[in-house]
Amino acid sequence: MIEGRSLELEELCTYCTGNPDDPVSLQRLQNECRRIGTRMISASSYILPKDVRMVYETFRGRGTIAFNRTIVEFATHGRSMEHVIGRSRVTITKSFCAMVILDVSNSMTGWWRNKRFGRDLREELSPQTAAKIATLAFLQGFDRRLDVEVMLFAHRPLGPFERRERVYRDIVASNGMGGSRLDLALENLIKRRWTKREGIRLLVIITDGVIESGLKAPGLPYLSETEIPGGADRDEQMKLDSLIQERTLKYLRQIVRDGVSTLYVPIFVDENLISWRSGMYSARELVREVEALGIEVAPVYRVENMVEVLFGGLNRLARRSGYQTTRKAIRRD
């Protein structure tokens, strides 16, 4: 229990992580996350910006007659009702695409934190469980007609993937995949020219904020201080992690220049990791650099508030970006 709240959903998510091939439990988890996501988006309210354009076409009784263009047509083709030009205003909703970049590195898990810091953290209360539930709620809450994708990253990026059953299984089944190379995920996004798409582009990054290479020990971030023969020494590791963090900030800067609406969601539930310096920055210091780029930041300090913080951040981002907000869900007309 968390302050009187049942952990049933978190326990279900943890069960599905260990049993991803149980279709009944996985479907139940998806249904619950869809219900949460739909409710949060309906309450949060995003309406896509619209363009009003003037359309000129053969007059058929709708709109008004465009006299200047009609005179030109008469002079060119002769007087005929077929050459009477009408004009009317049409409202066109801008295209919309969203991308969630989800951290599935070891440091997001409960087992790694227990091993590294000697804790007794239940997996139900780990950052990865809260992040999975929030990600599924985001993916399944939006209208199916909208272009919403997800990319996973640890020591390398996976995806992006469209919303399909197999993808939901892969999200839930992940349980730590090495280091945290956000720079590679952002680089992949830019190379695919996702940031150059037309219309509204929404990028959500969910991570614990520990951006590092994870090369000290295969499968474990170097924070574990595991001694592996032939592994890089600490100075080399710090230089490499500093480079990775600088690359991350460089790509974020480029994404902002491309006009992408970006929400950065760091999960700050463990003071040990918030203040631990990896490379040039600790997770807390890196967030300040991200904010300085003009990116909306929504830090999570309690895992049970993960979903509310995520959608609250989306609300603030929508207002900053000039989106109209109402009580209705995001939609296309």
Same domain, residue pair 77 and 198: no
Alpha helices in 159-298 (DSSP H): 165-173, 182-191, 234-257, 271-274, 283-292
Which residue from 322, 305, 321, 303 is spatially nearest to 40, judged by alpha carbons? 305
Is the Cβ–Cβ distance between 181 and 153 less than 8 Å?
A: yes
Between residues 58 and 151, the one the model is more confident about = 151
Are 81 and 174 within one domain? Answer: no
Which of the four pLDDT bands, split at 50, 70 and 90, describes residue 175?
confident
Query: Distance (Å, rounded) from C-alpha 279 to C-alpha 236?
Result: 10
Tell me: pLDDT of 238 over 50.
Answer: yes
pLDDT at 256 (0 to 100) = 92
- Domain holding 26: CATH number? 3.40.50.410
Which pLDDT score is estimated for 219? 41
- Claim to verify: residue 110 and residue 199 sit in the same structural domain: yes
124: in domain: yes
Lowest-confidence region among 12-21, 88-97, 132-141, 159-168? 88-97
Residues 89 and 41 reside in one and the same domain = no
Say whether pLDDT at 264 is over 90. Answer: yes
More confident residue, 22 or 47: 22
pLDDT number for residue 101: 93
Say how far apart CA 289 and CA 56 lie, in whole Å: 49
Structural domain contains residue 185: yes
pLDDT band at 254 (very low <50, low <70, confident <90, very high): very high
Is there a single domain that holds both residue 105 and residue 211? yes
- Paired with 264 in beta bridges are 205, 297
pLDDT band at 5 (very low <50, low <70, confident <90, very high): very low
Q: How far is CA 169 from CA 18, 104, 125, 126, in A?
A: 11, 13, 20, 19
Whether residue 186 is predicted with pLDDT greater than 90 in this model: the reply is yes
**35-76: pLDDT as tens digits:** 888 888 776 655 555 666 777 778 777 778 777 877 777 788
In a domain, 330, yes or no: no
Q: Do 124 and 264 sit in the same domain of this protein?
A: yes
Minimum mean pLDDT among 3-7, 61-65, 160-164, 208-212: which range? 3-7
Q: Helix (H, G, I), strand (E, B), or coil: what is residue 295?
A: coil
Predicted local confidence at residue 329, as pLDDT? 39
Whether 23 and 89 share a structural domain: no
- Show which of 37, 64, 93 is a domain's final residue: 93
Per-residue confidence band for 91, with pLDDT thresholds at 50, 70 and 90: low
Are residues 234 and 106 part of one domain? yes
Residue 275's domain comprises 11-46+94-320
Whether 85 and 98 map to the same domain: the answer is no
Contact 146, 332 (CB under 8 A): yes
> What is d(CA 242, CA 6) in angstroms, rounded to the nearest whole number?
41
Is 328 within a domain?
no
**What is the rounded distance in angstroms from the CA atom of residue 229 to the CA atom of residue 206?**
33
Residue 154 in domain: yes
Same domain, residue pair 109 and 135: yes
Q: What is the pLDDT of residue 52?
A: 67
Higher-scoring residue by pLDDT: 275, 243: 243
pLDDT at 50: 62
Residue 283 lies in a domain: yes
**How many folded domains does the chain comprise?**
2
- Is the pLDDT confidence value at 126 over 80? yes
pLDDT at 153 over 80: yes
Phi, psi of 247 (to 5 degrees): -65, -40
Q: What is the pLDDT of residue 220?
A: 42
Give dist(CA 107, CA 305) in Å, integer. 19
272-313 pLDDT tens trace: 778 877 778 888 888 899 989 989 899 899 888 888 888 888
Same domain, yes or no: 108 and 124:
yes
Element (H, E) at 98: strand 96-103
Q: How far apart, in whole angstroms, are the C-alpha atoms of residue 330 and residue 193?
A: 24
Structure tokens belonging to residue 88:
């009317």
Mind giving me the DSSP string for 101-170?
EEE-SGGGSHHHHHHHH-----GGGSHHHHHHHHHHHHHHHS-TTSEEEEEEESSSEEEEEES-HHHHHH
Token output for 133: 């539930």
Asked if residue 3 is part of any domain, the answer here is no
Of 93, 128, 148, at which residue does a domain stop? 93
From 33, 62, 93, give the residue that closes a domain. 93
Instruction: Note whether residue 331 is domain-resident.
Output: no
Note whether 57 and 21 are same-domain residues: no
pLDDT of residue 119 exceeding 60: yes
Mean pLDDT of the chain: 79
